[in-house]
Every structure is written in C-alpha cells, then in structure tokens.
Amino acid sequence: MKQRKRTLMQTFKALQPLKELTAQQDRKTLILWALDCADLVLPIFTERYPEDLRPWEAVAAARAWSRGEIKMPEARRYALASHSAATAVADADPAACAAARAAGHVVGTVHVGTHSMAFASYAVNAQIFAADPADPDAFCAEQCILLMNRLEHWSEIDKSEMVWASFL
C-alpha cells in the first residue's frame, strides 16, 4: 500500500502540465479525449477479468449520455458499477482497480469536465501498475505525454457536426 500511495503522489505531480492543458479545453474536447483514451487503459481490466464488463459498459454509457441517448441517472448507475468493479479487485489488483476507476470517471467527464483529471490520474496509474516499469517516473512522464498528445489531437477536431446532448 505504501508503494501505491507513493505512485499516486508521483503521478499527481507529473500530471500538472496535463492539468494546465485540460483547463484550456471545452467539455466536448475533454469528453472525446476521455472516451478515446479509455480504450488505451481498459484492456488492463479486461485481460484480468474478461467476464466483468462494467468498466466497458460505463464508457459506453458515457458515450450514449454525451449524445443525449440516455439521461444522467442511468449513466451514473454505470459509473457507480464501474467503481464497484474497481472496489472488488482493489486489494488483489491495483492495475485493474485503477483502470475500472478511470472508466467511471469517463462518465464523470460528461457531467463535469474536471473529472477528466481523475480519469487521467487513474489511467496513468493503471498503466504504471500493469507495466511495473524499472523507472516509474520516466514511464509516468511518457504516459502523460501520450495523454497530452491525444488531448491536443482532440482539441483540433471540428466538433460542430457531431451529435451532442442538448446540455453540451
């Protein structure tokens, strides 16, 4: 547990440039980014727990909610289910736990853009725990750069022709 807390604090510090970049984005950009990057981290959960689809269902619910296909209470149920999946594996598998929590925060990003940073933090930690790199700081920095590059990509995309919920 001590190593896990240390990793979380190191990740928090490494995410500061990403936090500054997310603060400059509109919510639609953050939603598209979180949906995109979820595909990078959720296989960590699926490889270990292929029968448990709750994290993937949460991401699908986030996508549906962002398009106005479902309402917030339904999306929230999926987010909470993903967090329950995380809790179920927390002690045995911190990588899968972090991946499932990241999925829950994709839903949160549709609601409030600042959830995107919780998504990013859990996503990076899932990658760190799964890879168990020799140099966690360098690996963390690489993951943060990857996320920043994906965010910059989505910030340049024209979102005007996409289908969005009326509240977005």
Q: Which residue ranges make up each domain of the chain? A: 27-155
In this prediction, residue 2 carries a pLDDT of 44
Does residue 1 have a pLDDT over 50? no
**What is the structure's pLDDT at 12?**
64
pLDDT tens digits for range 63-79:
999 999 999 999 999 99
**pLDDT recorded at residue 10:** 61
> Dihedral of CA 143/149/151/153: which sign?
negative
pLDDT: which is higher, 156 or 12: 156
Q: What is the mean pLDDT of the chain?
A: 91
Tens-place pLDDT, residues 127-144 = 999 998 888 888 888 999
pLDDT of residue 9: 56
Q: Look at residue 48 and tell me whether its pLDDT is greater than 70.
A: yes
What's the CA gap between 12 and 140, in Å, rounded? 10
Q: Looking at the predicted structure, is the pLDDT value of residue 53 above 50?
A: yes
Mean pLDDT along residues 35-59: 97
Buried b (16+ CB within 10 A) or exposed e, 91-120: eebbbbbbbbbbbbbbbbbbbebebbbbbb
pLDDT of residue 38: 96
Cα distance between residue 155 and residue 130, in whole Å = 29
pTM over 0.75: yes
CA separation for the pair 27, 38 (Å, rounded)? 16
